[in-house]
Structure formats: C-alpha cells, structure tokens
C-alpha cells in the first residue's frame, strides 16, 4: 500500500471534502468540518480496506494524514 492509494480511499469516504485539498502533510483536525463522525469513518476505512483495528487513543495521537497512514501500516505488521 502507498500513501497515494490511501489518500484516494480517504477522499472517497469523505464526499464533503474538496478534491485535491488532501496531502500527506494535511493536518487532520484542520480539515473543514472535521468531527467525531469523521473519526468513525477513518476507523471503518482502516478496518474494511486494510484489516486494521485502530483504538481511540492511537487515533488521537495522529495529527496529519501521513501519521494516520503510518498508524495503519504499523498495525498491519
């Protein structure tokens, strides 16, 4: 898996995010309208697309899209 593929899937889950505005360095909490529902969507994405279970505590520590990607990769091992 690479981060481009992850961003593509991430965008597909968030219809309300402007296309092209997400890069690896994007701060998750700065995404417009980001809230608790989006966190749930990320957890579901990690599970269904990557077979990875993310805990709330771990998700809180991820600041950027790159952090999120790294978290998923680290759980896959």
Partner 1 sequence: MGSYIKAISYYLPETILDNEQLSSIFPQYSPEEVFRRSGVLERHISAPAELPSDMAVKAAQKLFSENSINRNEIDFLIFCSMLLDRQAPTTACLLQERLGLSKNTGALDMPMGCSGYIYALCLAKSLIGSSVAKNVLILAGDCVTKTIEPTDHALRLLFGDGMTASLVSHCRKDEIGSFVLGSDGSGEKSLVIKGNNARENSAPEWAPSIVSTMPYGRLSMHGIDVLSFTLKTVPKMVDDLLAKENLTIDDIDMFIFHQPGGFVLEKLQRKLKIPPEKFFINIQNIGNTVSASIPIAISNALRTKRIKKGQRILLAGFGIGLSWGCTVITI
Return residues touching partner 1 (CB under 8 A): 36-37, 39-40, 43-44, 47-48, 53-56, 59
| CB nearer to partner 1: pick between 17 and 39 | 39
| CB nearer to partner 1: pick between 5 and 47 | 47
Tokens read off for 67? 């952090």
| CB nearer to partner 1: pick between 20 and 35 | 35
**Axis crossing angle, helix 65-76 with helix 3-13, rounded to the nearest 10:** 110
State the CB neighbour count (10 A cutoff) for residue 43: 16
């Amino acid at each position: 898996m690479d981060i481009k593929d992850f961003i593509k899937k991430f965008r597909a889950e968030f219809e309300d995010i402007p296309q092209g505005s997400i890069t690896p360095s994007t701060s998750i909490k700065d995404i417009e309208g980001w809230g608790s529902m989006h966190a749930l969507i990320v957890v579901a994405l990690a599970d269904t697309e990557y077979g990875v279970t993310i805990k709330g505590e771990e998700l809180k520590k991820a600041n950027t899209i790159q952090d999120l990607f790294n978290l998923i990769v680290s759980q896959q091992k």
